[in-house]
Amino acid sequence: MSHATEDALARSLSDPARFWAEAAEQIEWLRRPRAVVDSSSPPMVRWFAGGMLNTCYNALDLHVAMGRGDQVALIHDSPVTNTLRRFSYRELLDEVARFAGVLRDLGVEKGDRVLLYMPMVPEAVIGMLASARLGAVHSVVFGGFAPNELAQRIQHAAPKVILSASCGIEPGRVVAYKPLLDEAIEAASNKPAHCVVLQRREQPAELTPGRDLDWAELAASARPADCVPVQAGEPLYILYTSGTTGVPKGVVRDNGGHAVALKWSLRNVYGMQPGDVFWAASDIGWVVGHSYIVYAPLLLGCTTVLYEGKPVGTPDAGAFWRVISDHRVNALFTAPTAIRAVKRADPRGEQVARYDLSCLRTLFLAGERADSDTVNWSGRVLGVPVVDHWWQTETGWPMAANCVGLGMLPVKPGSPTKAVPGYDVRVLGEDGRELPPGETGHIVVKLPLPPGCLTGLWENEAGFRSAYLTRFPGYYQTADAGHFDEDGYLWIMARTDDIINVAGHRLSTGGMEEVLAAHPDVAECAVFGVRDDLKGQLPVGLAVLNEGVDRPFDEISAELVDSVREKIGPVAAFKQVAVVAQLPKTRSGKILRGTMRKIADSEPWRIPATIEDPTALDEVRDALRRLGYAR
């Protein structure tokens, strides 16, 4: 371990108050905190109690006041509309202050909720920052979510105002948002006072008189609003993540801890400096979009890229490389599934040679387990370090990573390296005892969590405690499974639900996926357990092949089965794998292994609201039936 990383981790755990007090010096406080750590309400702590600040001020006004108003703050690159827009810090501040005036004039005050249901357009970022400027609590819902899911979030958050757009644009189609929004509002009893609708020329919407207002008209005539001071512990946003009970979980993020942690993380984990160009190829509806499209880059004074496109198809597998070259991106952050899509379409990486990528220093991967093959392929074709890192919606920033800003450690493809300073990561067995290196168990974080992590669930304290704090008292339960190796590197193998029991042997499906992904013909894969009367569970694999592969799949299947038997052993009992054209995923790139398992076991299931393409489940069902499941 490098001295800088080792020292930072040790200091953060031995004296967290001093460590985070130093980090908090980078934030402009309207009133300094009376205490860095308030432990009066265990098991959770409050960070920077008594402090007052405004997150929007730190993201925009501060940089303008420091003389950097002419630097580009936001680049909107939209291949689906063939448009490009740039905003300097001064221009973005002007837009945000005026739209905060719009919200103020509609009655939005500190603590009110503002829900956003928008595509990847600058106005979405403006709406988030305008809410923060007023001390309001924003809740972003992925644009295009089904009406019933959107209605649940409207009902739960009870927003005073909803910000939306007339439509979203996907490659080859336009998605009308307004009918979906109307249906959701009709189904919710907590109805907003107003909806502010951004009319897009691709498909304008009919506005509902008395409730709906035109975004451009309001913004043109609004008076700018000043920043409203908020307590460090007051909420900045609610971000809903899927719940096992059918009720969405509203993760709450505070203002003070969030600002401190994100600004620290972009410099120390991601190696960024003010003026650098950072691109998180995600969506603002997900935590990556909140943390690393909007807040962290602007808090540090970087240029951030907002991309309205896909990794392939807008127009080809060189889309990411084109954006990097055009905007001189220094670091790209995306999901492994996006890179696998690029690799599948361009397995030799020939598109890379078409662009000048000399500006790119690092590729960061998170959101889905990064198999060794994806990490190695990316590093080979791009010629830059590939940093796999691990975190969750609940934490808001990385828990484990190779901290570029503190000095990189040797890379072990497939591992997110070691705990990030601030996180005391442990691996526990079923009995709650720590496991030795090499043994897979429950990955937990010893409390207290560092700044920037969730402070609770919106209006659901009991659910917060039962979901995260009850199973292992004194620890935050991540619901991920994995192990440490002899060098202290952390290996995330699966969700705890994806650890399968084969004849009494607890096996990681992630380990089997690692083997399948290494096959030269496989673009991506998934392994999950299915019910078996004799052994309890058996692993089944699904594989997507690289474009251009024309070998008989029976040959490939036999090679895959043999590889798992050789690398993991006969104990895995891995004997069945089928080919599919695509794997079912959420829009954020997570493979729906739990849904596929239910299909295989003929259990009741429903199409998840976050699914990217529902037809993928039909393909999976057909493939599983060919293997003798899903009856």
Q: The domain spanning residue 556 has which CATH number?
A: 3.30.300.30
> To which H or E segment does residue 541 belong?
strand 536-545
Q: Are residue 156 and residue 29 in the same domain, yes or no?
A: yes
Element at 392 (helix H, strand E): none
Q: What is the pLDDT of residue 2?
A: 54
Q: Is residue 488 part of a domain?
A: no
Cα(357)–Cα(464) distance, integer angstroms: 44
Q: What is the CATH number for 259?
A: 3.40.50.12780
Asked whether residue 466 falls in the same domain as residue 513, the answer is no
Facing residues of 524 across strands? 544
**Statement: residue 154 has pLDDT above 50:** yes
Mean pLDDT to the nearest integer, 20-33: 98
Give pLDDT, residue 508.
76
Cα three-residue angle 10-15-17, rounded to 5 degrees = 130
Long-range contacts of 348-353 (CB under 8 A, 24+ apart): 349/377, 349/380, 349/381, 351/316, 351/317, 351/318, 351/321, 352/318, 352/321, 352/381, 352/382
Q: Determine, yes or no, domain membership for 515.
A: yes
Shared domain check, 120 and 22: yes
Q: Are residues 393 and 294 in the same domain?
A: yes
Verify that 436 and 530 share a domain, yes or no: no
pLDDT digits (tens, 9 = 90+) for 478-513: 999 999 999 999 999 877 767 777 766 667 788 899
Residue 215 lies inside a defined structural domain of this protein = yes
Q: Are residues 524 and 590 in the same domain?
A: yes
Same domain, 445 and 582: no
Range 346-367 average pLDDT? 96
- Domain annotation covers residue 41: yes
In which region does residue 301 sit, left (phi positive, over 0), alpha (psi from -120 to 50) or beta (all else)? left
Of 263, 287, 604, the closest CA to residue 451 belongs to 263
pLDDT value of position 1: 46
Tell me the average pLDDT across 567-587: 88
Q: Which of 13-27, 423-437, 537-551 bottoms out in mean pLDDT, i.e. has the lowest? A: 537-551
136: in domain: yes
- Cα–Cα dist 269/487, whole Å: 20
403 plus 539 within the same structural domain? no
Q: What is the mean pLDDT of residues 540-560?
A: 93
* pLDDT tens track for 157-206: 999 999 999 999 988 899 999 999 999 999 999 999 999 999 999 999 99
Residue 474 shares a structural domain with residue 560: no
**Strands 230-231 and 52-53, bridge-based pairing:** antiparallel
Question: Residue 36 domain-assigned?
Answer: yes
Query: 417 with 521, same domain?
Result: no
Which residue, 482, 513, 544, sits at the end of a domain? Answer: 482
User: Does the residue 17 lie in any domain?
Assistant: yes
Between CA 408 and CA 416 the distance in angstroms is 12
Q: Are 457 and 513 found together in one domain?
A: no
Report the mean per-residue pLDDT for the chain.
93
Residue 372 buriedness (CB in 10 A; 0-12 / 13-18 / 19+) = middle
The domain boundary residue, chosen from 452, 482, 512? 482
Q: Which of 433, 448, 482 is the last residue of a domain?
A: 482
Q: Find the mean pLDDT for residues 274-293.
A: 96
Higher pLDDT, 587 or 469: 469
- From CA 538, how far away is CA 532, in angstroms rounded? 6
**Does residue 512 sit in the same domain as residue 620?**
yes
- Res 569: pLDDT: 78
Q: Is the pLDDT of residue 631 over 80?
A: no
Asked if residue 359 belongs to a domain, the reply is no
Q: What is the CB-side half-sphere exposure of residue 158 using CA atoms within 13 A?
A: 6
* Domains in the chain, number: 2
Least confident of 138-152, 189-203, 264-278, 582-596: 582-596
Q: End-to-end CA distance of the chain, in Å?
A: 52
pLDDT given at position 242: 67
CA atoms within 13 A on the CB side of 187: 16
The whole domain housing 544 covers 503-626
Convert the pLDDT of each residue in 232-252 to its tens digit: 999 999 999 865 445 679 999
